[in-house]
């Protein structure tokens, strides 16, 4: 029988405290039956973690051009804003 300790050391790329916040928010919205809140939480954390993990490679691919990062951030804010607006409408 194998134990968890034989699996080895796990190296997480995302900080555990951020994952804990995401899981707590997602669980809270699930218990409240708020599908839109779950989606909004997933969008925001997904965009942030994508940039957190691959931001350097993203900038290298953009050639250091700052407008690309601005467009990425603007798209993230637009997506989060549209999701927030949808929270105010009836289901």
Dist. CA 56–CA 42, nearest whole Å: 22
Dist. CA 91–CA 88, nearest whole Å: 9
Dist. CA 44–CA 78, nearest whole Å: 11
Instruction: For the chain, give the number of residues.
Output: 91
Per-residue confidence (pLDDT) for residue 9, from 0 to 100: 55
The long-range contacts involving 69-77, CB below 8 angstroms and separated by at least 24 positions, are 76/44, 76/47, 76/48
Per-residue confidence (pLDDT) for residue 55, from 0 to 100: 78
Q: What percent of the chain has pLDDT over 90?
A: 14
pLDDT in tens, 9-37: 556 678 888 889 999 999 999 999 888 88
What's the pTM?
A: 0.65
Dist. CA 45–CA 66, nearest whole Å: 22
């Amino acid at each position: 029988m194998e134990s968890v300790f034989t699996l080895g050391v796990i190296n997480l790329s995302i900080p555990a405290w951020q994952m804990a916040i995401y899981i707590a928010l997602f669980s809270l919205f699930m218990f409240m039956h708020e599908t839109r809140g779950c989606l909004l939480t997933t969008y925001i954390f997904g965009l942030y973690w994508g940039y957190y993990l691959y931001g350097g490679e993203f900038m290298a691919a953009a050639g250091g051009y700052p407008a690309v990062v601005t467009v990425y951030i603007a798209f993230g804010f637009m997506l989060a804003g549209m999701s927030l607006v949808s929270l105010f409408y009836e289901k």
